[in-house]
Amino acid sequence: MIYKIIRPIIFKLDAENAHDLAIKFLKFFPHLATLNVFNQEFDNLNLKVFDINFANPIGLSAGFDKNAEAIKALSKFGFGFIEAGTVTPKEQIGNDKPRLFRLVEDQAIINRLGFNNLGADNFLNNLKNFSQDQSKINIGVNIGKNKDTIDAVDDYIFLLNKFYQHSKYITINISSPNTKNLRDLQNEDHLDIFLQKISSQKKQLKDKFNKNLPLLLKIAPDLDLEQQKNIAHIVLKNQIDGIIISNTTIDRNLNLQSKLSVESGGLSGAPLFEKSNQILKNFYKFTEGKIPLIGVGGIKNAEDIYKKIKCGASLVQLYSAFIYQGFGVVEKMKKDLSELVKKDGFDNISKAIGCEVPL
């Protein structure tokens, strides 16, 4: 209710300035930001994924809290997990401004930020300041390469080493459209060699720390069917623990109404819902349900979450809904989702995973 009142004021600001202001508010006034939050959990939404307990399947997608500086406040809004980042080894300013746009008519966002962040050392300090032992919430780290890095795998291995002991999972982001040539790593030949090196490093860290940290791969929604099949095969071959489906799209053939749809960059939000769901179904089939999938793209309500679960997602992530509906949206989604699970006769949401996708 409060957000409905202040949203018109926030939306008068430039999108990136408004985002930066929100992060500062959450960071410096966490108690004030969460003053009216009533966080209720529902037993039928509890589930275990990657051998990790999640209070509910709803997560915050990477991109909102790039530097892990607002996770104390964000952890109070009812999410089952938060993915911070994308973080790169070195600080970088990203692409030229303006680079973030609200497509209000479409309930969508376009960004061409380019992994702007304060670097791995700053990120790690913020993570350490937030003790996961004091919260039920799980924090994942989304990692990417610096713009000027020649051999991308060097950056990913560096970040894997840095955050292995300080996160519940790590997401390998090679699917942002806003870093030149990054998506080339999804090509079959590149990806197999890349993931072999990543998996080899993980094995060393697993043995060293006696900890099996889940590694996830975040893919683009702009892959053709053959590319999807190849990626699924390579992921299974290299024992990657899960896939996030999907990142933002460069596709503009989505019946967009906003004049800002001509802006370059990655599109997220409501128009991506059906496209990402189809890819989710495909990967559930191609992986034969053997590894968990996280569904992202266009979620507006509990019905959308439930649809992604039925399409094969074990967990889901929000971003744009958080921008358009405010911080209280998670609590409503959880309550409604719990009722949908009961209505279908499932004692737990895990029973609904992939139920609409015959294997």
Buried-exposed string 234-258: b where 16+ CB fall within 10 A, e elsewhere = bbeebebbbbbbbbbbeeeebebeb
Active-site pick, 176, 261, 268, 338: 176
CA 64 – CA 83 distance, rounded (Å): 9
Query: 171 forms bridges with which residues in the sheet?
Result: 142, 216
Radius of gyration of the chain (CA): 19
3-state per-residue secondary structure call for the chain: CHHHHHHHHHCCCCHHHHHHHHHHHHHHCHHHHCCCCCCCCCHHHCEEECCEEECCCEEECCCCCCCCCCHHHHCCCCCCEEEEEEECCCCECCCCCCCEEEEHHHCEEEECCCCCECCHHHHHHHHHHCCHHHCCCEEEEEECCCCCCCCHHHHHHHHHHHHCCCCCEEEEECCCCCCCCHHHHHCHHHHHHHHHHHHHHHHHHHHHHCCCCCEEEEECCCCCHHHHHHHHHHHHHCCCCEEEECCCECCCCCCCCCHHHHCCCEEEEHHHHHHHHHHHHHHHHHCCCCCCEEEECCCCCHHHHHHHHHCCCCEEEECHHHHHHCCCHHHHHHHHHHHHHHHCCCCCHHHHCCCCCCC
Q: Mutual orientation of helices 2-10 and 15-28 as an angle, nearest 10°?
A: 130
Angle at 297 between CA 259 and CA 303, to 5 degrees: 110
Structure tokens at 108: 């969508």
Q: Is-catalytic flag, 176?
A: yes
Please give the positions annotated as active site.
Answer: 176
